[in-house]
Amino acid sequence: MNENARASASNADAEVNVHKETYEWIQCVVVALICCVILFVFFARVIDVKGHSMEPTLLDGDKIIITRLAGDYERGDIVVLRKETFRTEPIVKRIIAVEGQTVDIDFTSGIVYVDGQAVDEPYVNELTYEPEDFESYERPVVVPEGCVFVMGDNRNNSTDSRRATIGCVDTRYIMGKAIFRILPLQKVGALYGWDY
């Protein structure tokens, strides 16, 4: 085989390798996109935080990932819920008590009590002084079966289970548990519940 034929064969092999590599890259990108679509359609969603009720934990405009696959809802979990009797768009709140637990609030001291014990709440913006409709409830409030009692971390600027239009929330209204913040970039990271 002469020099020209060898060069031509080598160029043909190089071209085939380039096409093969390009095809493999395209295949990887397509598989990754399909996986992302499946993940976000069936297992997780991206939600925009709107308003100031979860400050300082979450700020207006933050983007978070929620999932329904994070197990049972527990006290301290940040959840996204939709309750048509209150608002059509999703709202973000923290679970303060789950079914069977009792909730009471001393609005003079600002302390929340669950099952008669003061709750340590290092995540709140300030203590709970705003009663909303809570003072008209029969107290302590017993969280019904299949429900949770939720509050915003910005206690005196949050419409939550203290308000009669929300009350104890049926867990079927919960769209998912917040697990990760994706925006803003300087605050990207996992969102963990607090230990009690």
Active site residues: 53, 93
Tokens of 88: 């059509």
Instruction: Report helix, strand or coil for 180.
Output: strand
φ and ψ at 170, to 5 degrees? -65, 130
Q: Count the residues in the chain.
A: 196
Q: If we measure between CA atoms, which residue out of 165, 161, 139, 136 comes closest to residue 149?
A: 161
First to last CA, the chain: 79
Rounded CA gap, 90 and 174, in Å?
A: 9
